[in-house]
C-alpha cells in the first residue's frame, strides 16, 4: 500500500457515503440525534479537499495528517473515534510499500485505538460491531495467505453481518444507550457508515 | 422547515457573529477554530471553559462573562466541538491557575474534551454534568445526560473561581452541585436540525414525550397530552425519587424552556411545581425561569431541582455579568 | 392546541402567580382586580403604569421594578385590561408626583385606560406607543399599533422617573422616544389563543406574513418564505423609510422574538440587520436581542430601531432591576 | 319598561350569543384578534349571574350597576363601549314604567355614549353600523306612534341590514382598521354580536 491507495480510498469512501446519505441519516434520527451522516460526510469532504496536500507525504505521515484534520473537522462522537482510527493506523503502518498483512496489522491498530478512546467493545451496538469482526477476519485471512480478491469479498460480507447484528442489540455506548430496549430493532448509524466505508474500500481493491 | 437562516452551512457563524456583535461589551468571538472568550480577560483565577453542540442557546456562549465562564466552544448544531477549539480557548484564557472544563455527559463531548485535556500542557480538570434523571444510571451505560442543571454548575463554580479558589476546589464544588442536581424534561413538539431539514422525531397532536433529551432523544415514554399539573407531578416525582432530599430541605427550582414554549406557560409550570414542592415540605428559596438550555426550536420544558447548602447559595446569589444571566453588576 | 395549561380559565391567574412566586424579591401580585406592583414601593417619583392584554410576556409585568415600571395591569389573553385594574394599581403606587400611563395604541387599551384616567383623582398623563410601521398612519384611522418599541419607552422613561423628574417631563420623553422608534415584524407561524383553541390564522409551510401584528393581525402581505437576509432587508427598509434617520445617526437595534423562535435565529437576524445598517452609514451603538414582546406561541420576530440622542442613551444605559431586564444592580 | 324586562333581556341576550358563538368568533378571527365572542360572552355571563342583585333595583340603578360590572369584566375594545352604552342608557331612563318612547330615547343616549367613547361614526365598520340605524328607526317609529309589534319586527330588519352593510366597508376604527382593503368582504364581529343582541331583545318583546 502506498499514498496513492489512500487517496483513491478517500474518493471511494466519499462517494459511497453520499450514495447512502438518506439511509445513514434516518438511522441516526431513529435512535441518535440525526447528525451522523452530516458529521461523517463533513469528514470525507475535507479529506477529499486535502488530497493535494497528502499526495506528497508518505502513507504514515498522510494518515497522521488526515487524522488531525478529521479530529478538528468532524466533532461529535464519531470525530475522536475516526481520528483515533487514523492516528492508530498511521503509527502502525510502514513508511512505504506495505504488504496486505502490514495493512491488516495497521487496521487492527486503528480499531484498537477506537476501543481505547471510546471504552467500548463488541456487542455494544456501535461502529465496533463492524470494525472488530472485519479487523479479525482481515488479520486471519492475510496470516493464512489467502488470495486478495477472496479477502476483500469476505471482508465485505463480514462488514455486512456486523452491521446487521446491531439491529437486535441494546446499546450500551453512544446516544442510543439512553433508549434502553427501545433501541432494539434499529441498526446503529455508525455501524452502517462503517460498513459502507469498508465496502467501498474493498470494492476499490477488487477493481484493481 | 421554516427558519430564519440564509445557507444551512452559514447558520453557526452568522449566529455567533450576531451574538458577538450584540454583546461586544461582554464577549469576543474567535473563528477557525470557533470559541468565545470574555471581552476582558480575567487574571489570577482558574479558567472555566465549557462547550458543546450548538442549538442550546444561551448555553454556553451566553454564560461567558464575569462570574461564570471564561470561554465557550460551540460545535456544529447538536455536535460536540473538536479538541482544537478547546485547546485554542484554553491557550487564550489560561491565567496561570489551570483550566476547568465543564462538560455535559455525552459520548462525543466527553471524548473530544478528553482528547483536548490529554493534549493540553496546562494543569486541568473536568466536571462532567449528568443531571438528567430520565435515564437511569447504570454501570454498563455511559451514564446520564447533562442538561439544564449545567447552568447551575456554571454559575456556582464560576462564582467560586472569581474568588481565586484553586483548581481542585473548583472541581470539587462542580461535582458537588452536579450530584445535588436533578432534571427531567418533556417535549410537546420535535426540534428540527437545520442541516437535516426535517423534524428529528414524529409526535402526534395530542402526545407528549416524557423524559425527552435536549437533542430530541426519546425519553421514558410517549403518552397522551395531560394537564400541566399532572405533567409537573411526574417530572417532580422522578427528580425527587433520584435526589431524595431530606424533609425540609432547601431547593433551587428551575423551569427551563426548550425554546418554543412561551414564558406564560413556563411560569404556569413554575407555579404548579412550587406548590407541589411546598406541599411535600420542601423550601423553595431560589428560582430560575426561562429559556436557558434549549433544544433548537422544540416546544417543551424541563424542571431542575438543586439541593442547596450555604456554599451553593452564596455562589448562586453572587454577581454575574453574562449575556444570558446578569445580576448584581 | 398543545399547551402547558390546566383549565383555560385558570391560565392567567396560575401564570401570574408563578411569575410572582419566582420573583418575589422584585414584584408583588394583587388579584381581583389583577395588577402587579414592585415588592418595595418607590417614593417621591412619578408612578409609571402600563398594561395590556396578556400573551406578550415578559411585557409588561416582567418590566415592573427599579428603573422601569411601578405597576402593570395584565388583561385576559390579547384583551385589554379594564379600568378598575388601572385605578387599583394607581392607588397602590401613586407616590405624590402623579401617574404616567404607558399604553400601546389599540382601541381597547386606549379606551380602557382613558376611562381609568377620567375616573382617577390623581394628576395623570398618558404616553401612547405606536411604533409599528407595518400599518401606515393616516388621519382617518386610529393609527399605528404599539409593539416591541414599548419596551424601550418603558426603560427610558422608567430611568428618568427614578431621578425625580415631574410628570410633564416623563410624558415628554416618552412621546419623544415613541416618535424616534419604529418596528416591523414577520410571522412564520400563527399563534393560538388558549380560549380559542385553534390557530388565529392559517399560513402555509412555505409562507411568511410580512408586517404581522403581535396578536396575529395580518400585516402588509403574505409571501413565500425567503432567506433571512432578504426578510431583514425588507423589515429594515420599511423602518428606515418611516424614521428617515440622518446620515451617520446613532441607533439602538432590537431584535425581538415572538416566543417560538430560538435565540440562535434571533442572533442571526441581528447579524444581518447590523451589517445592513452599517452599510447604510448608521452607527449601531446599543442592542437588545431576545423575547421581550411576544405573541403567545408565535414563531417570528420583529426588528425595532430607535434613533438615539444623549438623553435616550443615558436613560437606556442606567441600572434596571426587573424580572425581564436587569443591569447595573 | 321595568327592571324585570332588563332581567329577561339579559337571559335572552346570553342565550342568543351562545347560539352564535362559532359565527362571532370566526368573524373576529378573520379581521380582528379572535376574542370578541369570549369578551362579550364573559359580559353576558356575569350579567346573568347578577340578576339577583339587580332585581331589587330600579331600572336606572340596575343599568348603572350593570355598566360598572361590565366595565370591569369585559376588557378589550368592547368593554368600555358596552359599559358606556349601559351608563348612557341608565342616566337617560326613567326611574319606573318607561314608555316605549322613553326606552327609545334611553337607547339613543346609550348609542351616543358609544360614539363619544369610541370616536367612531356610521360607516366605520363597527357595532355602530348596527346600533345607529336601529336607534334612529326606534326613535322615528315610536315618535310616529307605530304599533309595538311592527316596531320590533322593523328593528330586527334594520339590525340585519346594518350588520350586512359592514361587509363591504373598509374599517377605520378597531383592529380591522390595520387591514385596509383586506377587511373588505368580512362582516364586523361587533356588528354581528350587536345584531344578535338587538334581535334577541326584539324577539323577547314580540313574544310578550
Ligand atoms: N464509545 C463509543 N465507541 C465506539 N463507537 C461509538 C461510541 N459512542 C458512539 N459511537 C458511534 O458513534 C455513532 C454516532 O456518531 P455521531 O452521530 O456522529 O455522533 P453523536 O452521537 O455525537 O451525534 C454511533 O452510531 C456509534 O456507532
Ligand atoms: N372605536 C370604536 N367604536 C365602536 N366600536 C368599536 C370601536 N373599536 C372597536 N369597535 C368594535 O369592537 C369590536 C371588537 O371587540 P373585541 O374583539 O371585544 O375587542 P378587541 O378589538 O380589543 O379584541 C369590533 O368588531 C368593533 O365592532
Ligand atoms: Mg449523532
Ligand atoms: Mg450529534
Ligand atoms: Mg382583543
Ligand atoms: Mg377582538
Query: Phi/psi zone of residue C118: left (φ > 0), alpha (ψ -120 to 50 degrees), beta?
Result: alpha
Give the number of beta-carbon pairs within 8 Å between C and D.
105
Query: What residues of chain B lie within 8 A of the CB of A77, using their CB?
Result: 80, 106-108, 111
List the CATH number of the domain containing D86: 1.25.40.340
Cell numbers standing for residue B34: 470557533
- Nearest-angstrom CA–CA distance, D101 and D96: 13
SS (H, E, C) B42-80: CCCCCEEEEEEEECCCCCCHHHEEECCECEEEEEEECCC
Q: Residue C17's closest chain B neighbor by CA?
A: B271
Domain match, C300 and C320 both: no
Three-state DSSP class for residue A72:
helix
Q: Is D120 in the pocket of ligand 2 (CB under 6 A)?
A: yes
Query: β-pairing, C320-322 with C283-290?
Result: unpaired
**Mean per-residue pLDDT for D175-196?**
91
Q: Are the C-beta atoms of C34 and C64 separated by less than 8 Å?
A: no
Cβ–Cβ below 8 Å for B14 and C268 = yes
Task: Find out whether the beta carbon of D195 lies less than 6 Å from any atom of ligand 2.
Answer: no
- Within a domain: residue C1? no
> Given pLDDT bands bounded at 50, 70 and 90, which one contains residue B139?
very low
The verdict on C198 touching B (C-beta cutoff 8 Å) is: no
Chain D residues in contact with C82 by the CB 8 A cut-off are 71-75, 79
Cβ within 8 Å, pair C142-D173? yes
| C149 close to C178: Cβ distance less than 8 angstroms | yes
HSE-up (13 A, CA, CB side) for residue C125:
15
Q: Which three cell numbers stand for residue B274?
A: 412550587
Same domain, C159 and C249: no
Instruction: Collect residues with CB below 5 Å from ion ligand 3.
Output: A 28, 32-33, 35-36
Q: Mark whether C197 and C247 lie in a shared domain.
A: yes
Which residues lie below 8 Å from residue B10, measured CB to CB, with a gap of 6+? none
CA-to-CA separations, B232 to B275, B300, C5, in angstroms, rounded: 10, 12, 11
- For chain C, the residue count is 329
Measured CA to CA, the distance from residue C219 to residue D39 in angstroms comes to 24
Contact between C30 and C57 under an 8 Å Cβ cutoff? The reply is no
State yes or no: pLDDT of A108 exceeds 90. yes
What is the per-residue pLDDT for A105? 97
Q: Which partners does chain D have (≥3 C-beta pairs < 8 Å)? A: C
- Interface residues on B facing A, Cβ-Cβ cutoff 8 A: 33, 53, 75-85, 106-108, 111-112, 114-115, 134-135, 140-142, 145, 193, 195-196, 200-201, 213, 215-218
The C-alpha atoms of residue B66 and residue B70 are separated, in whole angstroms, by 8
C250 — pLDDT class (breaks 50, 70, 90): very high
Whole-number Å distance between alpha carbons of D21 and D14: 11
What residues are paired with B126 via a beta bridge?
B101
Band of residue B137 on the pLDDT scale cut at 50, 70, 90: low
pLDDT of the residue at D176: 85
ipTM, interface predicted TM-score of the complex:
0.93
Per residue in C169-201, pLDDT (tens digit) is 999 999 999 999 999 999 999 999 998 888 989
Q: Do residues C31 and C173 share a domain?
A: yes
Is the minimum CB–CB distance between B272 and chain C shorter than 8 Å? yes
| Shared domain check, C216 and C99 | no
B231 shares its domain with B152? no
Position C143 scores a pLDDT of 78
Of C82, C145, C216, the CB nearest to D79: C82
Which three-class secondary structure state does DSSP give residue B224?
strand
Task: Work out the average pLDDT over A152-171.
Answer: 97
Instruction: Provide the CATH number for the domain around residue C108.
Output: 3.40.50.10440
Integer Cα distance of C250 and C96 in angstroms: 36
| D chain contacts of residue C115, beta-carbon cutoff 8 Å | 71, 80, 83, 117
Do the Cβ atoms of D80 and C145 come within 8 Å?
no
pLDDT at C142: 65
Mean pLDDT of chain B: 96
Return the residue of D nearest to C200 by Cα: D29
DSSP C46: P
Question: Mean pLDDT over residues A101-115, rounded?
Answer: 97
C107: closest CA among D3, D118, B13? D118
* Position in ligand 2 atom list of the atom nearest CA D79: 18
Is D13 strand, coil or helix? helix
- Check CB contact under 8 Å for B80 and A175: no
Greatest alpha-carbon pair distance for chain C in Å reads 55
Nearest to B148, CA basis, from B172, B132, B127: B132
Query: What is the predicted pLDDT for the residue at D79?
Result: 96
Backbone phi, then psi, for A63, in 5-degree steps?
-65, -40
Q: What does the alpha-carbon distance between residue A17 and residue A28 come to, in Å, rounded to a whole number?
A: 14
pLDDT above 90 as % of chain C: 93
Do both B190 and B322 map to the same domain?
no
Tell me whether residue C56 is one of the annotated catalytic residues.
yes
Helix (H) or strand (E) holding B127: strand B124-129
- Please, which residues have CB within 8 angstroms of residue C204's CB and are 6 or more apart in sequence? none
Flag whether B2 is in a domain: no
Q: Which of A42, A71, A79 sits opposite B108 (nearest CB)?
A: A79
In a domain, B39, yes or no: yes
pLDDT tens by residue, C117-172: 999 999 999 999 999 999 765 444 567 899 999 999 999 999 999 999 999 999 99
D158 lines ligand 2 (CB under 6 A): no
| Residues A58 and A96 sit within 8 Å (Cβ to Cβ) | yes
Interface test with A, best of B112, B139, B194 (most A CBs within 10 A): B112
Ligand 2 site, residue D117, Cβ cutoff 6 A: no
- Residue C2 in any domain: the answer is no
Q: Clarify whether residues B150 and B266 are in a common domain.
A: no
Quick one: pLDDT at residue D107? 98
Pair (B175, B196) in one structural domain: no
Q: What are the angstrom distances between the C-alpha of B186 and each of B59, B105, B236, B255?
A: 19, 19, 12, 11
D79 lines ligand 2 (CB under 6 A): no
Looking at residues B253-270, what average pLDDT do you find? 98
CATH number for the domain harbouring residue C258: 3.30.1180.20
Q: By percentage, how much of chain C surpasses pLDDT 70?
A: 98
Q: Number of structural domains, chain B?
A: 2
Burial class (CB in 10 A: 0-12, 13-18, 19+), C154: buried
Indicate yes or no: CB of A39 within 8 angstroms of CB of B200. Answer: no
Find the D106 Cα to ligand 2 centroid distance in Å.
22
Mutate-to-test residue for ligand 1 from B106, B107, B193, highest number of ligand atoms within 8 A of CB: B107
In ligand 1, which atom is closest to the CA atom of A127? 27
pLDDT single digits (tens) C218-227:
888 999 999 9
Ligand 2 pocket check for D192: Cβ under 6 Å: no
Same domain, B185 and B217: yes
The pLDDT confidence band at residue A32, using thresholds 50, 70 and 90, is confident
Shared-domain flag, residues B20 and B156: yes
Q: Does the beta-carbon distance from A175 to B140 stay under 8 Å?
A: no
Q: Domain limits at C228?
A: 181-308
Which residues of chain C neighbour D72 with C-beta distances below 8 Å? 33, 82-85
Using beta carbons and an 8 Å cutoff, which residues of C are at the interface with D? 33, 53, 75-85, 106-108, 111-112, 114-115, 134-135, 140-142, 145, 193, 195-196, 200-201, 213, 215-218
What is the tally of structural domains in chain D?
1
- Give the domain extent around A38: 3-207
Atom of ligand 2 nearest to the CA of C106: 22
Provide the pLDDT for residue C139.
45
Q: Which of A29, A74, A77 sits opposite B200 (nearest CB)?
A: A29
Q: How far is the CA of D174 from the centre of ligand 2 (A)?
A: 5
Band the pLDDT of A178: cuts 50, 70, 90: confident
DSSP state of D58: -
What part of C 66-95 touches B (C-beta under 8 Å)? none
Q: Are residues C175 and C224 in the same domain?
A: no
pLDDT, residue C135, reads 77
> Residue A139: exposed, middle, or buried by beta-carbon count in 10 A (0-12, 13-18, 19+)?
middle
User: Do the Cβ atoms of A79 and A67 come closer than 8 Å?
Assistant: no
Residue B56 annotated to the active site: yes
Q: What are the tens digits of pLDDT across the range D8-43?
A: 999 999 999 999 999 999 999 888 888 899 999 999
Q: Is B223 at the interface with chain C, CB within 8 A?
A: no
Amino acid at each position: 500500500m502506498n499514498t496513492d491507495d489512500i487517496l483513491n480510498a478517500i474518493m471511494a469512501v466519499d462517494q459511497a457515503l453520499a450514495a447512502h446519505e438518506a439511509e445513514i441519516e434516518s438511522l441516526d434520527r431513529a435512535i441518535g440525534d440525526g447528525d451522523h451522516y452530516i458529521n461523517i460526510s463533513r469528514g470525507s469532504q475535507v479529506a477529499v479537499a486535502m488530497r493535494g496536500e497528502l499526495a506528497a507525504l508518505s502513507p504514515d505521515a498522510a494518515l497522521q495528517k488526515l487524522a488531525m484534520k478529521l479530529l478538528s473537522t468532524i466533532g461529535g462522537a464519531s470525530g475522536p473515534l475516526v481520528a483515533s482510527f487514523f492516528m492508530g493506523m498511521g503509527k502502525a503502518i510502514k513508511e512505504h510499500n506495505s504488504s496486505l498483512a502490514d495493512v491488516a496489522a495497521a487496521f487492527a491498530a486503528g480499531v484498537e485505538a477506537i476501543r481505547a478512546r471510546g471504552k467500548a467493545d463488541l456487542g455494544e451496538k456501535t461502529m465496533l460491531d463492524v470494525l472488530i469482526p472485519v479487523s479479525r477476519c482481515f488479520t486471519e485471512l492475510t496470516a493464512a495467505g489467502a488470495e486478495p480478491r477472496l479477502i476483500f469479498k469476505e471482508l465485505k460480507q463480514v462488514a455486512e453481518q456486523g452491521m446487521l447484528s446491531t439491529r437486535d442489540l441494546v446499546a450500551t455506548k453512544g446516544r442510543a444507550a439512553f433508549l434502553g430496549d427501545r433501541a432494539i430493532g434499529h441498526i446503529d448509524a455508525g455501524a452502517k457508515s462503517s460498513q459502507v466505508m469498508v465496502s467501498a474500500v474493498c470494492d476499490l481493491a477488487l477493481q484493481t | 422547515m421554516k427558519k430564519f437562516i440564509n445557507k444551512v452551512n452559514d447558520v453557526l457563524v452568522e449566529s455567533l457573529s450576531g451574538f458577538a456583535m450584540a454583546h461586544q461589551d461582554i464577549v469576543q468571538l474567535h473563528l477557525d477554530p470557533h470559541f468565545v472568550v470574555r471581552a476582558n480577560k480575567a487574571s489570577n483565577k482558574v479558567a472555566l471553559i465549557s462547550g458543546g453542540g450548538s442549538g442550546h442557546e444561551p448555553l454556553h456562549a451566553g454564560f461567558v462573562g464575569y462570574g461564570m465562564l471564561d470561554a465557550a466552544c460551540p460545535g456544529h448544531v447538536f455536535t460536540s466541538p473538536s479538541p482544537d477549539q478547546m485547546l485554542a480557548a484554553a491557550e487564550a484564557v489560561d491565567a496561570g491557575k489551570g483550566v476547568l472544563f465543564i462538560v455535559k455527559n455525552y459520548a462525543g463531548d466527553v471524548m473530544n474534551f478528553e482528547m483536548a485535556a490529554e493534549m493540553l500542557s496546562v494543569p486541568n480538570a473536568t466536571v462532567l454534568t449528568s443531571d438528567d434523571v430520565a435515564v437511569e444510571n447504570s454501570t454498563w451505560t455511559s451514564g446520564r445526560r447533562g442538561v439544564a442543571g449545567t447552568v447551575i454548575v456554571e454559575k456556582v463554580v464560576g462564582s467560586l473561581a472569581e474568588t481565586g479558589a484553586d483548581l481542585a476546589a473548583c472541581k470539587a464544588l462542580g461535582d458537588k452541585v452536579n450530584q445535588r442536581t436533578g432534571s427531567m424534561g418533556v417535549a410537546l413538539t420535535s426540534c428540527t436540525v437545520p442541516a437535516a431539514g426535517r423534524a428529528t422525531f414524529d409526535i402526534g397532536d395530542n402526545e407528549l414525550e416524557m423524559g425527552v433529551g435536549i437533542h430530541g432523544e426519546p425519553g421514558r415514554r410517549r403518552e397522551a397530552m395531560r394537564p400541566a399539573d399532572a405533567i409537573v407531578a411526574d417530572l417532580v416525582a422522578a427528580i425527587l425519587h433520584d435526589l431524595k432530599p431530606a424533609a425540609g430541605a432547601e431547593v433551587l427550582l428551575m423551569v427551563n424552556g426548550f425554546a418554543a414554549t412561551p414564558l406564560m406557560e413556563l411560569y404556569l409550570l413554575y407555579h404548579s411545581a412550587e406548590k407541589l414542592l411546598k406541599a411535600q415540605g420542601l423550601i423553595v428559596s431560589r428560582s430560575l425561569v426561562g429559556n436557558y438550555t434549549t433544544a433548537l426550536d422544540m416546544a417543551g420544558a424541563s424542571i431542575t431541582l438543586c439541593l442547596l447548602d450555604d456554599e451553593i447559595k452564596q455562589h448562586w446569589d453572587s454577581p454575574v455579568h453574562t449575556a444570558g444571566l446578569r445580576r448584581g453588576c
